[in-house]
Amino acid sequence: MSSVIILDFGSQYTQLIARRVRELGVYSEILPYHTPFEKLQLLNPQALIFSGGPASVYDKFAPMPDKRLFSLRKPILGICYGLQAIAKHFGGKVQNAKRREFGRAKITIARNGSSNQLFAGVDDSEVWMSHGDKVTQLPSGFRVTARSENSELCAVEMISETDRIFGLQFHPEVHHTEQGKKILSNFLFEIAGLKADWSPKNFIESEIDKVRQMVGKQKVICAISGGVDSTVAATLVSQAIGKNLRCVFVDNGLLRKNEAKEVRTALGTLNLNLNVVDASSLFLSRLHRVVDPEKKRRIIGRTFIEVFESELKHETFLVQGTLYPDVIESVSVNGPSQTIKTHHNVGGLPKRMKLKLIEPLRELFKDEVRQVGKLLHVPDAILKRHPFPGPGLAVRVLGAVTKERCDVLREADAIFISELKTHGLYDKTWQAFAVLLPIQSVGVMGDNRTYENVIALRAVNSVDGMTADWTPLPNDFLALVSNRIINEVRGVNRVVYDVSSKPPATIEWE
| Residues labelled catalytic | 80, 171, 173
Amino acid found at 316:
T
Count of other CB atoms within 10 angstroms of residue 259: 20
Q: Cα 205 from chain centroid?
A: 23
Q: Cα 353 from chain centroid?
A: 25
Distance between CA atoms of residues 77 and 155, nearest Å: 10
- Strands 448-461, 431-445: pairing kind: antiparallel
Count of other CB atoms within 10 angstroms of residue 345: 27
The burial of 457, by beta-carbon neighbours within 10 Å (0-12 exposed, 13-18 middle, 19 or more buried), is given as buried
Question: Buried b / exposed e across 51-78, counting CB within 10 Å, b at 16+?
Answer: bbbbbebeeeebbbbeeebbeeebbbbb
Distance between CA atoms of residues 374 and 361, nearest Å: 14
At residue 147, what are phi and psi to the nearest 5 degrees? Answer: -135, 155
Q: Which of 370-377's residues contact partners 24+ apart within 8 Å by CB, and which partners?
A: 370/228, 370/232, 371/200, 372/200, 372/203, 372/204, 372/232, 372/236, 373/228, 373/231, 373/232, 373/235, 375/200, 375/201, 375/204, 376/204, 376/232, 376/235, 376/236, 376/239, 377/235
At residue 385, what are phi and psi to the nearest 5 degrees? Answer: -65, 140
Distance between CA atoms of residues 41 and 302, nearest Å: 41
- Is residue 169 within 8 Å of 77, Cβ to Cβ? no
- Is residue 302 within 8 Å of 349, Cβ to Cβ? yes
- Strands 93-109, 143-148: pairing kind: antiparallel
